[in-house]
Amino acid sequence: QLQLQESGPGLVKPSETLSLTCTVSGASISSSSYYWGWIRQSPGKGLEWIGNIYHSGSTYYNPSLKSRVTISVDTSKNQFSLKLSSVTAADTAVYYCARTLPCSGGSCLNWYFDLWGRGTLVTVSS
Amino acid sequence: EIVLTQSPATLSLSPGERATLSCRASQSVGSYLAWYQQKPGQAPRLLIYDASNRATGIPARFSGSGSGTDFTLTISSLEPEDFAVYYCQQRNNWPPRLTFGGGTKVEIK
């Protein structure tokens, strides 16, 4: 059964870099059919897309976060990772990793997330 | 950036009633719209994609409609497990970009 699991520090100091990893089990992240993404949700608030990555390493980021975000993939470990630099309290959120629907009809932009990790709370505080 | 506005913010209904949720986009998104359900402490669950296609395993009481800027999620007869927060999400064609609506909470009346 395919599962995604986020891991990383639950507490990050202001101005430092938030680093999270998503481990995919039950299937290969190298499948050509999917994008993999990060989404966050601030406490009591809505959802914000951070970015997506393909197994080739091709990435797309939310323009509002692009200057601070790096998403990478390690196919040998079946993982993809998120780095968010220069964090502030506004970056406190539950961070989810997720998988998109598969490519269809020649398009790999079916960017709706059908499989999610359980999420991990990251608090930015000194 | 395309902004999605969901209404109402809260919908108070009883089990068995019909729920109608709205999502309006600030500009046309074609049919590139999805709906998610989220319960407390859980990740969102994909219900509907491309405006009207039910995701795998989603009961037939959930249906989506609309195109362009106005979309609707309908739950034909609320089950106890349907009381949750619902989000819409759009995807641009190019450059790829995703935004979510602010959510509608469906609560027990």
| pLDDT, tens only, A62-109 | 999 999 999 999 999 999 999 999 999 999 999 999 999 998 877 787
* Cα separation of the two ends of chain B: 35
Structure tokens at A73: 């993939």
Q: Do B91 and A111 touch (CB under 8 A)?
A: yes
Express as a percent the part of chain A with pLDDT over 70: 100
Residue A103: predicted pLDDT: 84
In terms of Cβ atoms closer than 10 Å to its own Cβ (0-12, 13-18, 19+), residue B14 is exposed
* Chain B: residue whose CA lies nearest to A99: B46
How many residues are listed for chain A in this entry? 126
Residues in chain B with pLDDT values less than 70: none
Of the candidates A62, A109, A114, the beta carbon closest to that of B46 is on: A114
Q: Given pLDDT bands bounded at 50, 70 and 90, which one contains residue A31?
A: confident
Q: Do A47 and B96 touch (CB under 8 A)?
A: no
β-pair type (A3-7, A18-25): antiparallel
